[in-house]
Structure 1
């Protein structure tokens, strides 16, 4: 790249954009190739010539990644670069919906864990029970437990010979949690998320310690979305500032006799 630095101070090379964000020049070129950055003009020798608009586009993309992840951020930037702002905003809206759903799931986990850890529970049998026994214990129909299984809430094993469901002590715990949450008005998909967290933590007791960390992660993600939105707005304003004069020039040329 030596000797190719453009004379126009407003023009940047791949390496100039890369250094600002701790990236490689190849990463910047890949972003342009993938449509994350708008197409760059080329010098007579074939080098890409980036502008301040590209710098703002790169800043917006990297900020969006922190809140929305790589796939969604790529969709947002490609939509913006092809002029489809509505599609970009729909993707952003979808990420916010997912964040809100995660918040509601966390609220459900905290509520359920508080009930389970604060109540005197009957000691559980360490043997697996059939669906009829579990349904009677919870005061629900077996069909309800089968519905919860289809929703991903319960994962009972099956007897090899008969195929009958057998609910382990952990399955019984999950069913009790689900029953509590259903009485609290939570949807099945939210309950499935709660139970997934319980299984990942290894039970309700270890889960308690991770709840504050989980909420902190959601807060960090929400703040990152705000920063990403601000950077994207800056890029849109910079891009519009270049497009408007070009559009006015084209209109004036078309209106000449």
Structure 2
């Protein structure tokens, strides 16, 4: 087969096939007397495997897995695959904890703050904690106050007040600092409690799709390894 023959199946260009070949994604390739590359069904399966791996493991890790397999270092390839599964398991656990936290929490917009943003002392008084506690929460990434350009003092606007009130609720529920920080990061990324619920649903969909993608990639890799084992 020619590069274009491999490329057509996946809507790629012949140059992309040559690039993958040069990068070690494909097994060693024979050439004709005139220098043209000659591909076999083994190369076609290697390409299918790489593209399946790329969709679930990411481009760089998929390339590393294929290079390891093609040089006969299957142990390194399996370690890379294990790393992806561990990352996915960790992410799934994080999503579960965030959802659990949201389910047992009253996330509301703080009452309007008259005048300028609150100082560290004013916010500490508002939520009944010591100012040093707010600084600790900031160091842990739980709070992100702005700074007065002239004095450098911390300033807490409505969003920071909301985060501080949520942090107080969670800490009183014995949630560890790291878990509180993770929840607040998710809340900020989503843009609010209602948006966070939608975000959690889409997050779960992404996790499910990635898990399915890993299964598909494993099937393609198994087929490739079976072909490599054949005489």
Fold similarity call, TM over 0.5: yes
The Cα shift of 1:225 comes to 0.8
Aligned alpha-carbon RMSD (Å) = 2.6
Written as runs of structure 1 = structure 2, the 5 A alignment for 1:109-120 is 109-117=98-106
Contact persistence 1:198–1:207 (CA under 8 A): yes
Counterpart position of 1:83:
72
The question of 1:232 aligning with 2:227 is answered no
Contact persistence 2:120–2:155 (CA under 8 A): yes
Which digits, 9 at most, give the CA deviation of each residue in 1:190-215, with x for residues without a partner?
54443333223221122222321221
Q: Distance in 2 between matches of 1:177 and 1:45?
A: 70
Q: State the TM-score, normalizing by the size of structure 1.
A: 0.77
The Cα shift of 1:87 comes to 1.9
> Structure 2, unaligned stretches of length 5 or more?
none
Which digits, 9 at most, give the CA deviation of each residue in 1:10-41, with x for residues without a partner?
xx221111112221111111101111112211
Q: State the TM-score, normalizing by the size of structure 2.
A: 0.85
Of 113, 125, 141, the match for 1:125? 113
Which digits, 9 at most, give the CA deviation of each residue in 1:173-231, with x for residues without a partner?
2233344555454561x544433332232211222223212211110011101111121
The question of 1:45 aligning with 2:49 is answered no
Counterpart position of 1:73:
62
Counterpart position of 1:165:
154
The Cα shift of 1:140 comes to 5.0
Of 208, 225, 241, the match for 2:197? 208
Rg larger in 1 or in 2? Answer: 1
Written as runs of structure 1 = structure 2, the 5 A alignment for 1:1-257 is 12-117=1-106, 123=111, 125=113, 127-135=116-124, 137-138=126-127, 140-181=129-170, 183=173, 185=175, 188=178, 190-242=179-231
> Structure 1, unaligned stretches of length 5 or more?
1-11, 243-257
Aligned length: 229
Contact persistence 2:3–2:39 (CA under 8 A): yes
Higher mean C-alpha deviation, range 49-58 or range 120-129: 120-129
The Cα shift of 1:52 comes to 1.8
